[in-house]
Amino acid sequence: MNKVLGVLGGMGPAATVAFLARVQALTPAQGDADHIRVVMDLNPQVPDRNTQPGEAEAELATMARRLKAAGAEVLAMPCNTAHAQKAGIEAAGLPFIDMIAATVAAVKGQDARRVGILATPGGEALYRAALEAEGMKTVLLEVPDREAFMACVYAVKRGDTGSTNRAEMARLAGALTLAGADAVIAGCTEVPLLLDAAEVSVALVDSAEVLAGACVEACRA
């Protein structure tokens, strides 16, 4: 029998909904009963992960305990930045699928040596440390482009996934490849809502896709 997946979501809501669709699409199934049961806390009120890390961790810990009480057996969180506060989630005592570790493993499978990162400041720091620990070099956006990236992310949170924002995210990915990246991590779950793999000249490793696949594997094991 499949294990029950508990999802800590809402960071942001659109990215969480897209992640759940990926879990469904990646699950081998002949009918409803073959799919994974999911319990979710879609909580857009989690405090800011960059500016209020302690408050965010306390809320994530509460969410994890709530999901455990609801029957979750495996936990996952489709927010890269909040993995800096994963200790609060792990305190619930359930297996937690680390999105950062799984994505870095996927990048390593691409034989990449110089990896571009599209992520928030917090997510970028997590990926940089994890990639460098595996012997890979990182390629980062310059300061003006970092601001442009965050503007794209906040636009998605406002519901804007239009052509202007899509073009800007493609430009930012291109800036990383021009700077020498031989793979690019979509290290914020809003990125794939604006960027397709076909728009990037090197391998685009989508952290949300990687996490969804890892959830399917863990819950069907």
Model confidence over 55-71: pLDDT tens digits?
Answer: 999 999 999 999 999 99
Which sign does the torsion angle of CA 149, 151, 153, 155 carry? negative
* CB-CB contact of 165 with 97 (8 Å): no
Give the chain's mean pLDDT. Answer: 97
Dihedral angle of Cα 149, 200, 203, 169, to the nearest 10 degrees? 10
pLDDT value of residue 50:
84
Tens-place pLDDT, residues 147-163: 999 999 999 999 999 99
Strand-pairing partners, residue 27, are none
At residue 178, φ and ψ (nearest 5 deg) are: -65, -30
CB 19 within 8 A of CB 211: yes
pLDDT higher than threshold 90 for residue 221: no
- Considering the chain, what percentage of its residues have pLDDT values greater than 90? 96
User: How is the chain split into domains, by residue range?
Assistant: 5-99+210-220, 100-207
Q: In whole angstroms, what is the distance from residue 80 CA to residue 100 CA?
A: 7
User: What is the maximum alpha-carbon separation in the chain?
Assistant: 50
**What's the pLDDT score for residue 91?**
98
**Strand pairing class (114-118; 74-76):** unpaired
Do residues 157 and 165 lie in contact, with contact meaning Cβ atoms separated by under 8 Å? no
pTM of the predicted model as reported, rounded to 2 decimal places? 0.96
Over residues 15-28, mean pLDDT: 97
Fold designation for 5-99+210-220: Rossmann fold (3.40.50)
Task: For residues 17-46, give the mean pLDDT.
Answer: 97
Mean pLDDT (whole number) for 47-54: 92
Per-residue H/E/C for 3-30: CCEEEEECCCHHHHHHHHHHHHHHCCCC
Phi first, then psi, for residue 204 (nearest 5°) are -105, 115
pLDDT over threshold 80, residue 52: yes
The verdict on domain 100-207 having CATH code 3.40.50.300 is no
- Quick: pLDDT tens for 87-138: 999 999 999 999 999 999 999 999 899 999 999 999 999 999 999 999 999 9
